[in-house]
Amino acid sequence: MVSHQDHICWGKADPNHHPHELQVCRLSAAYPRSQRPAITGISFSIHCGHTLAVMGPNGAGKSTLLNVLAGMMPIADGQVLWDGRPLHDTRREVAWLPQRSMVDHSFPITVRRLVEMGRYPALGCWRSIGEHDVSIVDKALRTLQIEALQHRQIAELSGGQLQRAFLARALAQEAHILLLDEPFTGLDDPGVRALGILLGELAREGRLVVASYHDVKSASEYFDDTLLLNREQLAFGKSAEVLSSHNLNRAYGAVH
């Protein structure tokens, strides 16, 4: 097993190190009890160190794709590979961040305890939290600048702060791939900007950030690459190129 220190992409991407690669090959997925696949024929590959926006109209399958990558929905057809091996063999490489509206804000838990949850895949059920884990949690809190909030209840946090707490949990998990479902929903303009820049920074440190995103105008500002889909893949590549008016018309209709 790879030791923790070798494994983390904290701070710098090793220039001599071969970058990790996520490959999605002809991926299809369907909801249980549904005849029609929710997404079909998704194929792209991307290296860590990048931010990827998943875009498309409502019901296009953005959440479905994230759920499949997170291992929460089964793959109907195709493959998802991480460095050539099935992604779901290395579950802790993936951290999934829930939509803020989907979690119980009143749950009695402090920010620090929430971030500690990220250590579960490494610790399992019974191993107790050691010095190493404490230092990782500290570092995650520091990176997201929420150290001062660590003993607060999550009920006391603003939307942006809660988002940071979830990101800190993902960092504490030492995952390479961060999957964010609608992270920008409900944030005000400065909040959107701050989160966009933050995601870019986390990616520069050697992670792969994949998020569903809505705003066509600002996508290329925050995301290196964009996957445009509407149940099937419409375009993939550099954000500015993908979000051409031709492609947008195909995805959203003539409105845009």
Query: Residues interacting with other proteins, by CB under 8 A?
Result: 33, 70-72, 91-92, 94-96, 98, 102-104, 106-110, 114, 117, 120-121, 123, 125-126, 153, 155-156, 173, 179
The whole-angstrom separation of Cα 173 and Cα 170 is 5
Going by C-alpha positions, the residue among 236, 232, 237 that lies closest to residue 28 is: 232
164 vs 233, beta carbon nearer other proteins: 164
Q: Which among 63, 156, 151 is positioned nearest to 115, based on CA atoms?
A: 151
* Residue 137 beta carbon to other proteins: minimum distance, rounded to whole angstroms: 14
Q: How far is the CB of 15 from other proteins (least distance, A)?
A: 31
Q: Where are the alpha helices (DSSP H) in the chain?
A: 4-7, 62-69, 111-116, 120-123, 131-143, 159-172, 189-204, 219-222, 239-242, 245-252
CB 177, min distance to other proteins, A? 11
Residue 190 corresponds to which tokens in the numbers above?
A: 């400065």
Nearest approach in angstroms of CB 96 to other proteins is 4
Cβ proximity to other proteins, 114 vs 140, nearer residue? 114
Nearer to other proteins, 156 or 188 (CB): 156
* Residue linked to tokens 């404490």: 134
CB-nearer residue toward other proteins: 123 or 234: 123
